[in-house]
Structure 1
Amino acid sequence: MKTNIKFIFGIFFALLLTVSSCTQENYSLGDLSAPSNIIVNTQVVGQDATHPNGDGSGKVKISITGDNALSYKIDYDASTPVDLVYLPNGTVTNKYTTLGVKTYRITVVAYGKGGSSTNVTKDVTVRSDFTVNPAIVTALTNDASKTWVVDKSVPGHLGVGPWNVSSIRPEWWASGINEKVASANCFYTASFTFAKVAGTGTYSLQVATPDGAFTKTGSLTTLPGIPATGDEGCYNYGGGTSAFSFIPSSSGAPALPSMADNSPSTQTSILLSGVTTFIGYGAVQKEYEILVITSTYMYVRVQGTETGNAWYLKLKPAL
């Protein structure tokens, strides 16, 4: 036993000498100063003395510079939910689509070494003009009033895919016929009445939800009265009425002359006012891009509550 103890002690002492004789290395993270002198330059397209807020296209060229900045993220409108977009080189042209003249607050986050960051904001005022194709108005409202429902009789009446312009289809998942009848039948019984208000040139949407609203919960919806937590499904909601407008779609998706499902977009969106209305799915975003519309069929998509997602919906006129 004594021999073993001495042997173990000898090994320990040798290791201690070895460790103590090692040269100590010193490491340094270097200068981690946050980016500074961040400048956000904005150029409203078409801006001149006659058109101080631009040519009506809504386009703004944005460039960002700064000291010690390695990359940037940008949020184009502080009045909407935060959506930071990565800008590796700090330049972009953004299209604002709210009609009329509006001031937007741009927020930029500049990132430096070691994850350091600096935030800056800048306001820009821009005008957006848009004249909707009369055929879209007629198909949606019958030039008076028209009610639509989700078409459960066709596959893909609900789908999920990426929110981009390179793949405008529900490539991640598409519903089967009657997919939600057993689990969320409110998805099919809700109705959406689009009206053209005579004499004013304005539009309204009335949502009726006899069996509740099909939505998510908490921060994943804007509908009032929805629980803070819970699964996607039907929730008690009395419906609502709001104004809506037609705007140029903000996705930048191209248009094709075909009116089939493979047509990327009409380049027109329905923008709902307020937080009490929705189309099909009670999303946070209120811009529903019209991909295809005829007198008997409407195919739209809305940016999902999860970043990068798009929800696709097929509707038909109510009987």
Structure 2
Amino acid sequence: MKTNIKYILGLFIVALTFISCNEEEYSLGELSAPANVVINTVVVGVDATHPNGDGSGSVKISVTGDNALSYKIDYDANTPLDLVYLPTGMTTKKYTSVGVNTYRITVVAYGKGGSSTNVTKDVTVRSDFTVAPEIVTALTNNASKRWVVDKSVAGHIGVGPWNIASIRPEWWAGGVNEKAASANCFYTATFTFAKVAASGTYSLQVATPDGAFTKTGSLTTLPGIPGSGDEGCYNYGGGTSAFSFIPASSGAPIVTTNADNSTSTQTSILLSGVDTFIGYGAVQKEYEILVITSTYMYLRVQGTETGNAWYLKLKPAL
């Protein structure tokens, strides 16, 4: 019996020796972070008489770097950090703040094993924009006008991709009274848009008697919202902020129909600060006006999740 045990033990040791001698070694190689990362910018329309561009606000951006496998980019350090993938290292960004403004671009270049290098560059560009008078009249009645989400129509809330190939809530569209049971605050909040004739400025007053319809934590900017939780109604005391009209950053086309598909006025409402919202308390504060009449407003806002667009239908409050 002892002989058999010794024999089996000997075979086990030989097998281990054989395996250890034939074990392959793997190596990731040198994990060097990307080097010589450069952000190249060309402001569209720059010439001797237009040093900050032609007023379109468009800037061609390209990024190069040694040992870089991929890039992420944030277009403006003055807004919440929003790093988006730059698959080809090239893009054209349309800046929409009216006038001559300087933006700080941040790029993160990623190399092997998750190594990374951060670089920044400032770019100064001019954006010219005059809102169509009929949009101002429809939204504010040239004085003050109160709006609510129109729960009586299908699709008053919806979600789709954030692109210009499909400007519709193709992923999901809510039915009539969709949120009445789970988040009725979505329907009781009011949004009063005002035109201040003396100064030529605009303001938005938000009233939320039953709270704000939003998400939590980093998925909203509204003050006092919990750090975690489900989408729903949360205590929010309302607020007032200035807003401006800007050219829509999406580049969506104008069409001559009011159909809820592939349409845009190419005009957006840009809220100042982080304390106000329209319908849904998102992180982004640019609400693109797809359609607007005196009795109907159809908006979309870039969702808090990358690549999402939220759609909202509103009507004047009684």
Tell me which interval the TM-score lies in, with the shorter structure as reference length: over 0.9
2:120 corresponding residue in structure 1: 121
1:125 Cα deviation (Å)? Answer: 1.0
Confirm whether residue 150 of structure 1 aligns to residue 130 of structure 2: no
AA aligned to 1:11 is L
Deviation readout 1:193-227 (Å, 9 max, x if unpaired): 11111132211111111111111222221111222
1:191-270 paired onto structure 2 within 5 Å: 191-270=190-269
TM-aligned CA distance change 1:142 to 1:29, over 3 Å: same
Task: Say whether the 8 Å CA contact 2:149–2:314 is kept in structure 1.
Answer: yes
Q: Deviations for 1:27-83, whole angstroms, at most 9, x for unmatched residues?
A: 443333222111212111122232221111111111222222233221111121222
Paired position in structure 1 for 2:312: 313
Aligned to 1:8: 8
Corresponding residue of 2:76: 77
Deviation of 1:298 after TM superposition, in Å, equals: 0.7
- Paired position in structure 2 for 1:109: 108
Question: Is residue 145–residue 196 contact of structure 1 (8 Å, CA) maintained in 2?
Answer: yes
* Structure 2 residue identity aligned to 1:175: G
Q: What is the match of residue 54 of structure 1?
A: 53
Q: TM-score, normalised by structure 1?
A: 0.94
Task: After TM superposition, give the deviation of residue 281 of structure 1 in Å.
Answer: 0.8
User: Gaps (5+ residues) in structure 2?
Assistant: none
Identity value in percent: 83
| 1:39 aligned residue | 38
CA deviation after TM superposition for structure 1 residue 228, in Å:
2.2
Following superposition, the deviation at residue 278 of structure 1 comes to 0.8
Pairwise CA distance, 1:23: 4.5
Matching of residue 19 in structure 1 with residue 8 in structure 2: no
Shift of 1:294: 1.1
Kindly state the Cα deviation for residue 192 of structure 1 after the two structures are TM-superposed. Answer: 0.7
Whether the aligned pair in 1 keeps the contact of 2:168 and 2:260 (CA below 8 Å) is: no
Deviation digits for residues 131-163 of structure 1 (CA, Å, limit 9, x no counterpart): 111111111111221111000111111111111
- 1:17 deviates by 4.8
Instruction: Give the secondary structure class of the aligned counterpart of 2:134.
Output: helix
1:257/1:263 contact within 8 Å kept = no
| 1:177 Cα offset (Å) | 0.8
CA distance in 2, matches of 1:87, 1:218: 26
Are the counterparts in 1 of residues 37 and 63 from structure 2 also a CA contact under 8 Å?
yes
Instruction: Work out the number of aligned pairs and report it.
Output: 318
Distance apart, 1:259 and its partner CA:
1.8
Partner of 2:174: 175
CA contact 2:99–2:127 (8 Å) conserved in 1: yes
Q: Which amino acid aligns with 2:60?
A: K
- Pairwise CA distance, 1:191: 0.7
Corresponding residue for residue 66 of structure 1:
65
**Do the aligned partners of 2:76 and 2:105 also contact (CA within 8 Å) in 1?**
yes
Give the residue type in structure 2 aligned to 1:68.
N
Shift in alpha-carbon separation, 1:148–1:95, aligned structure 2, 3 A: same
- The answer to whether the 8 A contact 1:263-1:292 is kept is no
After superposition, the Cα gap between the structure-2 partners of 1:191 and 1:16, relative to the gap in structure 1 and judged at 3 Å, is: closer
The question of 1:95 aligning with 2:85 is answered no
Single out whichever of 220-229 and 239-248 deviates more from structure 2.
Answer: 220-229
Counterpart of 1:253, as a letter, is: A
TM-score between the two structures when normalised by the length of structure 2: 0.94
Cα drift, residue 317 of structure 1 = 0.7
